[in-house]
Amino acid sequence: MDSLEISPSDRKEEQPAAPLPLPAAFLEFLGENGLDPMLYSMADTIPRYIRLKPGTESRMVTEIETELKCDLAKVSWLPDFYAIPPEIQIAGSNAYQQGKIYGIDAASGAATIALDVQPGDHVLDLCAAPGAKLCMLADMLGSTGSLTGVDVAKHRLAACRTMLQKYSLGDRSRLFVADGTSFSILPVNSNLGSMEGYIVTEDGGSIFSEWTSKRLWKDRQKSKKANSAGSPHPTSTSEPELIYYGKDSGLVGLQKHYVLHPSTDEAACTSGYDKVLVDAECTHDGSIKHIQKFEFWGWKTLDRRVLEAERTGNLLHLQLGLLRNGFKLLKTGGSLVYSTCSLTVAQNENVVQQFLSQCPSAELLKIDSADSWPCRSGSIEKTLRFDPATSQTSGLFVAKFVKLPS
């Protein structure tokens, strides 16, 4: 099969399918937020997107097309991305199992590209699970710099670890189970200079040896105690738990106390991360295919997991907290991308506006690479919105900030 190519102007004008039988509570949510329920009739017209391992795609495309029994349509505006029919499943394919491809929506890929990661950057992914964007960031870094992934859910971050290892992208990475609103550990290589003369306290002499999946008995016991104490998620006062570090992450041979030392605001300005991605937890209402799954999971599950007023209010607080903390960990001159897969103004422009009013050193940046993207402007200048009708992708909001000198 010959690989096809799709560009923004090639998107098909298709008749919308019959809308999902959305429950009254969700229709009320859409109405309150000015969203069109007909968007949810487009789930079966949005392609599935895959990303091929960079550098090897030319010899792999025909092989993968043969295995998946479909054409791979090259996405002209996004390097290494291909669109396939939405009904095609990739998990059972050799290409997926051997780490040649992974599924990631094109809009999520665009948000990652917007960060403009350069070789040598220290990069933080503050909401790393489920891991596709983390893998893409690792690919963009190559053989220099460092990547730190953080997530509040240990089982989800463990899946990120599996992905990094599967795609041979973990060498320069480290993963922390932690609350993203309070995580405060700076990049290793930039932090060590400020640690000279620091007094080592209890267990400070412990050294990072090369990482192994076999944990020491005392570490397993510590984990058991933590799990039996209550919630499986860390609180804002919990110490971060390091569950993976690669051989070139800068940790091997260092004293643990130095590496895990929390930072100050002043230290972050000079020794913080060059790039931070905050793909914040949200109501997922823009992930059309995700909402479609609730037809099978049960609409009551949607009410409990998405629509409860208390949860929605907590989410807005969480989103602002993640954005503030991610920006705090950024070095002066560094850039941060904030994104959500919600279509609502409340979780996007309103959060951005509130953040800007509280943080005078933050300034919105134009995303130059977006000039060729099939997206539209948000209601705040320089912000972007993807949606099924405009982009043939899931819904996604993207805003990029730079940290100015205080």
How far is CA 86 from its chain centroid? 22
**Rg, Å, the chain Cα set:** 21
Q: How far is CA 394 from CA 85, 107, 186, 288, 326, in A?
A: 15, 7, 33, 6, 24
* C-alpha distance from residue 336 to each of 74, 117, 252, 273 (Å): 28, 11, 28, 9
Given a cut of 90, whether residue 118 has pLDDT beyond it is yes
pLDDT tens, position by position, 248-301 = 998 888 888 777 878 888 889 999 999 999 999 999 999 988 888 887 777 777
- Long-range CB pairs of 251-254, under 8 A, 24+ apart, other chains included: 251/174, 251/188, 251/208, 252/208, 252/209, 252/210, 252/211, 253/207, 253/208, 254/188, 254/192, 254/207, 254/208
pLDDT grade for 197, boundaries at 50, 70 and 90: very low
Q: How confident is the model at residue 370 (pLDDT cuts 50, 70, 90)?
A: very high
